[in-house]
Structure 1
C-alpha cells in the first residue's frame, strides 16, 4: 500500500456540506474524495508542466537509438569493464 501523508485544509461551508453529501452518497470518506479529485487534476496537467519534462534532451549521448537499445548498450559497457 502506498504511504499517505496527512494534510490539513480549510473548506468553506458549501464545500464542506457538498463533500459530506458526496461522501455519504458514494459510501466513501471525504479524504478518498479529495484524493480522487487531486488525481483527476494531476491527470489533466499537461506533461510539459512537469519539471522532469525539462530534463528531456538536456544531455546528448550521441546515440540516436538509446531509448530502444539501452539494454544492449548496458551489456556492452559491462563487457568492457570485465576485460
Structure 2
C-alpha cells in the first residue's frame, strides 16, 4: 500500500491529519502507488488487462467476496484514501 496510507495509520487514522499531497510530484507518486495497491487487491480475473485498465468492463460471474482486503478496516482504507484525491 502507499507509504502515505502507512503514515496515516500510524497517526490513528485521524481524518483531520491526512498526508500532504500538495505538489504534483507527491500526488502523482501517491496516485501510481494507490493504483498498484488497488490492482494487487483484485482477484485474478479483475487484474490489469492489455488496455491498462485495472478491471474488465464486462460482467463477470465471480463474486466480490474474492476481493482481498484484509483487516477490519480494509474497505474503509480504500474509500477514505480516495477522498484524498
TM-score (norm 2): 0.26
Higher helix share: 1
Relative contact order higher in (CA < 8 Å, ≥ 6 apart): 2
Which has more radius of gyration? Answer: 1
TM-score (norm 1): 0.26
